[in-house]
Structure formats: structure tokens, C-alpha cells
Amino acid sequence: QSVLTQPPSASGTPGQRVTISCSGSSSNIGSNSVNWYQQVPGTAPKLLIYRNNQRPSGVPDRFSGSKSGTSASLAINGLQSEDEVDYYCAAWDDSLSGWVFGGGTKLTVL
């Protein structure tokens, strides 16, 4: 059971906008920034969004992040077939004094 809650799956058609939610509590998302990682199965996770809404160099601006209260969201505009991978949210938890992750969301491009 993950500390952060994500939907196990999400889907959309090419060109569509998709959002993935991440729900936490006051000790993690509510008081710290949220990061998002993208993982192609069989490979290491890759940083996608940091500090709630910042994109690392090289990440397309189709990807965006937001945070409100104890929840965060990842939005993908102009969905493409290569976006069909797994996405994880993460945040520092003050109560646990450790990093916590969401259970991951598998995105399907229909």
C-alpha cells in the first residue's frame, strides 16, 4: 500500500489531453514539493517534473505538473504513442522522514 495514491491506469487517444492524479497528506504533498518520474518498463525511472511544475531540460512542454493542497497532477497534452509508459509521483514525508512514492499509473494510448 503506497503512501501516495495514484490511479493504477489511465488512457487517452492520440492528441488528447490526459491527467494523472496523486493524492497525499499534510505531511508529504501538503508541505513539500512533488516530483514526477516516467519509467519505460525494463529501464530506470527518469525525472519528468520536479518541484511541482518544473521541467528538466529535454522534457517536452507537453508535460506539465501542478499541486494544490495535498494533491498533485501530471498533465500530458497532445498525447503520443511513446507516452504509453508508467508514471510515478513522489514527495518527501516529514512524519516518516523519508521519501514516499505513488503506486504508479500505467498510461495506455488507445
Partner 1 sequence: QVQLVQSGAEVKKPGASVKVSCKASGNTFTAYDMHWVRQAPGQGLEWMGRINPNSGDTSFAQKFQGRVTMTRDTSINTAYMELTKLRSDDTAEYYCAREGVGGPSGVNWFDPWGQGTLVTVSS
Binding site for partner 1 (CB under 8 A): 2, 31-33, 35, 37, 43-47, 50-51, 56, 88, 90, 92, 94, 96-104
Joined grid coordinates for residue 89: 509521483
Helix (H, G, I), strand (E, B) or coil at 64: strand
Q: Which element (helix H / strand E) includes 21?
A: strand 18-23
Could you tell me the sign of the dihedral formed by the alpha carbons of 33, 56, 108, 84, in that order? negative
Shortest reach from residue 13's CB to partner 1, in Å: 26
Query: Measured from the CB atom, is 2 or 19 closer to partner 1?
Result: 2
Shortest reach from residue 49's CB to partner 1, in Å: 9
Shortest reach from residue 54's CB to partner 1, in Å: 9
Burial class of residue 30 (count of CB atoms within 10 Å of its CB; 0-12, 13-18, 19+)? middle
Shortest reach from residue 15's CB to partner 1, in Å: 29
Are the CB atoms for 6 and 105 separated by under 8 Å?
yes
